[in-house]
């Protein structure tokens, strides 16, 4: 980070300008400007198909934007459709943690194996060091006792917490969450949100695509609303949820609230006991 005067704005960890992406004839991102500042929790909400997951996936090169520019951790990931060369992209990805909707744990490895494989192969950590770090992370997500289990024996919530530990093991500068609780049974959502909340509290920079409005309101520093490939509006949660500028935002929030019940509902498990343990 460049040392400019204290008054100068901090340099964003993620910075997108005029980002465009099409799949065939369908334009999914229509010129996105988007910033995530260090230690900020940036939540992206919006209806399905609004492009929010694509935006997130662009941020670690799983998708390549067709136009516009994208800067991550001080590196230019994409500029006018030209992506960072493969070796540099791989290096950049080690600093960008990603958590998927469907967990994507490696089923042929134990929980410990899942968390240590990245550091061992990519950060040149010794097996012993990687294991020590992994056990600490598993403890942090409340799964220390599951280190030797295989993913198939875990619940969805446990799987997602392992996936978070796996991403954290690379000691990333920013964590990307792609609808991390959408594939979970309702009663398992809380334990994952709690881990994410603790992470935010520790100052981790996070970009979170989610339908959990309670989480967005409570933990988000900035909430952005996407619709049809554009960011409709962006601001502090109170503004977005209580005084949205856009009619489309109001419609979306209305629809979500009608479906999910009043707002505190989703938050409840996340604010519940701080110590999470295996079931």
Footprint of another protein on this chain (CB under 8 A)? 60, 62, 86-87, 90-94, 96-98, 100, 102, 104-110, 117-118, 121-122, 150, 152, 163, 166-167, 170
Give me the count of residues in the chain. 279
Least distance to another protein from the beta carbon of 7, Å?
35
Least distance to another protein from the beta carbon of 174, Å?
12
Phi, psi of 140 (to 5 degrees): -65, -35
By C-beta, is 118 or 180 nearer to another protein? 118
- Measured between alpha carbons, how far is 88 from 65 in angstroms, rounded to an integer? 17
Yes or no: say if 254 and 73 are a contact pair by the CB < 8 Å rule.
Answer: no
Least distance to another protein from the beta carbon of 62, Å?
6
Cα–Cα separations (whole angstroms), residue 93 to 12, 182, 217, 237, 276:
17, 24, 29, 29, 29
By C-beta, is 129 or 221 nearer to another protein? 129
Sheet with 205-209, strands from edge to edge, namely 96-99, 174-178, 205-209, 41-45, 222-227, 230-235
- Measured between alpha carbons, how far is 200 from 110 in angstroms, rounded to an integer? 27
By C-beta, is 60 or 249 nearer to another protein? 60
Least distance to another protein from the beta carbon of 106, Å?
6
Least distance to another protein from the beta carbon of 238, Å?
33
Token digits of residue 242: 């209580």
By C-beta, is 97 or 269 nearer to another protein? 97
Contacts 24+ apart (CB under 8 A), 274-277: 274/194, 274/198, 275/142, 276/141, 276/142, 276/161, 276/191, 276/194, 276/195, 277/142
By C-beta, is 81 or 236 nearer to another protein? 81
Question: Residue 168: how many CA atoms within 13 Å on its side-chain side?
Answer: 24
Yes or no: say if 145 and 278 are a contact pair by the CB < 8 Å rule.
Answer: yes
By C-beta, is 92 or 240 nearer to another protein? 92
Cα–Cα separations (whole angstroms), residue 111 to 94, 114, 143, 165, 235:
19, 5, 9, 10, 38
Q: Which H/E stretch holds residue 156? A: helix 156-168
Least distance to another protein from the beta carbon of 253, Å?
30
Least distance to another protein from the beta carbon of 213, Å?
26
By C-beta, is 109 or 230 nearer to another protein? 109
């Amino acid at each position: 980070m460049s040392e400019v005067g204290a008054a100068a704005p901090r340099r964003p960890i993620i910075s997108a300008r005029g980002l465009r992406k099409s799949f065939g004839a369908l334009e999914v991102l229509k010129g996105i400007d988007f910033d995530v500042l260090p230690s900020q929790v940036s939540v992206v909400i919006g209806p399905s198909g609004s492009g929010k997951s694509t935006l997130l996936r662009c941020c670690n090169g799983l998708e390549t934007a067709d136009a516009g520019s994208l800067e991550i951790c001080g590196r230019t990931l994409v500029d006018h459709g030209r992506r960072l060369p493969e070796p540099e992209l791989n290096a950049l990805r080690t600093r960008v943690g990603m958590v998927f909707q469907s967990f994507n744990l490696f089923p042929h490895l134990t929980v410990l194996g899942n968390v240590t494989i990245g550091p061992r192969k990519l950060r040149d950590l010794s097996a012993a060091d990687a294991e020590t770090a992994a056990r600490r992370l598993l403890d942090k997500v409340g799964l220390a006792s599951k280190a030797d289990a295989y993913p198939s024996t875990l619940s969805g919530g446990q799987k997602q917490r392992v996936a978070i530990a796996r991403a954290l093991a690379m000691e990333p500068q920013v964590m990307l969450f792609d609808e991390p609780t959408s594939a979970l049974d309702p009663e398992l959502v809380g334990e994952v949100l709690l881990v994410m909340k603790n992470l935010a509290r520790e100052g981790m920079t996070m970009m979170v695509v989610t339908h959990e409005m309670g989480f967005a309101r409570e933990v988000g520093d900035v909430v952005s609303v996407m619709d049809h490939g554009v960011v409709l509006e962006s601001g502090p949660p109170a503004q977005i949820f209580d005084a949205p500028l856009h009619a489309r935002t109001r419609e979306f929030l209305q629809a979500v609230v009608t479906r999910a019940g009043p707002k505190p509902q989703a938050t409840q498990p996340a604010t519940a006991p701080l110590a999470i343990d295996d079931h």
